[in-house]
Amino acid sequence: VQVSPFNSMIVMPDGTVTVSNGTDSCEAPLDETGLGRCWLTPTSTGSADLTAHYNGSDDFEPSDAAPVAGPVVSRAESAIVFASLNPHNPVVGQPMTVAVSVAPVAPGWGTPGGTVSISASSGQSCEATLAGGEGSCLLSFDQVGPVTIDMDYAGDANFLPTQWGWLNGVMVIPAETTLVLVPSLPSVYGEPVHFTANISVDDPGAGSPTGAVQFTLDGADWGDPVALDEHGVAESAAINDLSVGPHLVAAIYLGDADFLPAIATGITQWVARADSSLVLSSSQNPAPYGVPVLVTAHLAGIDPSQAVPTGGAVQFIVDGVNYGAPVAVGADGTAAKLLPYTALWVGSHELTAVYSGDTS
């Protein structure tokens, strides 16, 4: 810009001239010839007119120049200059922060805005909104394996789009798990019991493990592995013949492609002796004198036991007196005694029996 004196004045104006495109401006100090220069850095695209305003001085009044057409300002090129991944090798389900920075390419100037689309070769994606040229978003992966990351800057009103090719070297690793056995209430002999194992994913991992749980009983495998359901729960088969006493129950999650195996802390299942019931029956009642009578004791376990006693013996009693030796209980849970007619004279007789019990 150049400022000249009005009419025939020979003193050249001094001071400054403000040059503006309507949005941006610069200040041009005048030299002794009235000429001044300044750098005007446009911050928006287009071809806005340029105006010049002389700010005046002690000797000269302010003045304005007629607007002139400004240069055409195009969008500047941009580049994704920095990206970081934290963590670089996440476990399955762990959120990974992808941070990205976008900068202008010379001679461009300014701070890019807008968004950067971030996508992974495994199908996940997120969008980072830039603030001050920087932004971040979260990715999480649902399976193990190598992953590459692509970044695509969409551009904004002042900056052209750009893309950063695949970022290699990311490896998603299996997540650790925890298996917990649900304790069962103490049981009695012959009572069906089963056990439940729950699998969970340890922080920072996440997801739904698949696969199976192997239950063990007193150190030996208990049946085949049991598949986890959609809630991460496995339930053992029922067992009703645990012997009286303590039993160690444990479980192992066998893992799958994305989740590591886990061993549950063992629990002790206590089994107590079951209560029993005894019912007597006779081969005939009433019986004629002189005919032997077969008296049978029928044994059963009392709920919740579903077992039938097969050990121990039954002592038969006739009219309050033990009759003969105790009779061993058979495999069908019964014991029988044949009472000869000599033990049963005419009249009413009270027949009772006592079961001695056994270890169960």
Task: For 240-296, write each residue's pLDDT tens digit.
Answer: 889 999 999 999 999 999 999 999 999 999 999 999 999 999 999 999 999 999 999
- Which of the four pLDDT bands, split at 50, 70 and 90, describes residue 83? confident
pLDDT at residue 6 above 80?
Answer: no
Residues 151-194: tens digit of each pLDDT: 999 999 999 999 987 778 899 999 999 999 998 889 999 999 99
Whether residue 9 is predicted with pLDDT greater than 70 in this model: the reply is: no
Instruction: Write down the pLDDT at residue 7.
Output: 67
Residues 326, 229: Cα–Cα separation, whole Å = 52
Cα separation values, 249 from 3, 114, 326, 343, Å: 98, 59, 38, 53
> Which one-letter amino acid corresponds to residue 6?
F
Mean pLDDT of 101-112: 93
C-alpha to C-alpha distance for 262 and 265, rounded to whole angstroms: 10
236 in the Ramachandran plot: left (φ > 0), alpha (ψ -120 to 50) or beta?
Answer: beta
Distance CA 309, CA 36 (A): 115
Q: What is the Cα gyration radius of the chain?
A: 47
DSSP string, 231-263: TSEEEPPPB--PPSEEEEEEEEE---SSB--EE
b/e sequence 137-161, b meaning 16+ C-beta within 10 Å: bebbbeebeebebebbbebbebbbe
Q: Whole-number mean pLDDT of the chain?
A: 94
Sign of CA dihedral 244, 248, 254, 255: positive
- In this predicted structure, what is the pLDDT of residue 166? 75
Amino acid at residue number 143? Q
